[in-house]
Amino acid sequence: MARSDEAEAFFHAVYTAVQEIPHGKVTSYGHIAKLIGTPQRPRQVGVCLKHLSHDPQSRFNNTTVPWQRVINSKGIISPRSQPTGTLNQAAALEAEGVTVTTGALGELMVDLADYGWFPSILPSEEGMED
């Protein structure tokens, strides 16, 4: 089923914003939602990343969009339906030099004080403010 124009625009905004997260940094689903002007839609940011294409011919795919750099607002790598998904994300972050630790409940965590990226606007929009 094809996406509506509105949905397509939202996916595009999410993917382009995520592409601006610097190597070795992370941000939250909620912060991406805020940066693209929809602060009430952090869960939909997660949906977009869940549906990121694996097709290398696709403009936005799992190698051109650094999906691994988006975690929850508590610094926890969000659990996935497949047990290896969380471990894959942790491994991808560690490959970028991000330290991933295990919390008291077994959750995989990133210290947002060390690795967090929370600009007030996207770098591509700097100088465009009214």
Domains recognised in the chain with CATH numbers: 5-125 (1.10.10.10)
Map tokens 């988006």 to a residue: 70
Q: How far apart are CA 96 and CA 118, in angstroms?
A: 18
Q: Rounded to the nearest 5 degrees, what angle is found at the Cα of 67, between the Cα atoms of 115 and 89?
A: 70
| Residues 58-105: tens digit of each pLDDT | 999 999 999 999 999 999 998 876 668 899 999 999 999 999 999 999
What is the reported pLDDT for 82?
Answer: 67
What is the reported pLDDT for 16?
Answer: 98
Tell me the sheet residues that pair with 102. 108
| Residues 11-54: tens digit of each pLDDT | 999 999 999 999 999 999 999 999 999 999 999 999 999 999 99
Q: Residue 85's Cα: distance from chain center in Å?
A: 14
Amino acid at 41: R
Eight-class DSSP state of 124: G
Write the CA distances from 82 to 26, 78, 88, 95, integer angstroms: 22, 11, 10, 21
Contact between 62 and 53 (Cβ < 8 Å): yes
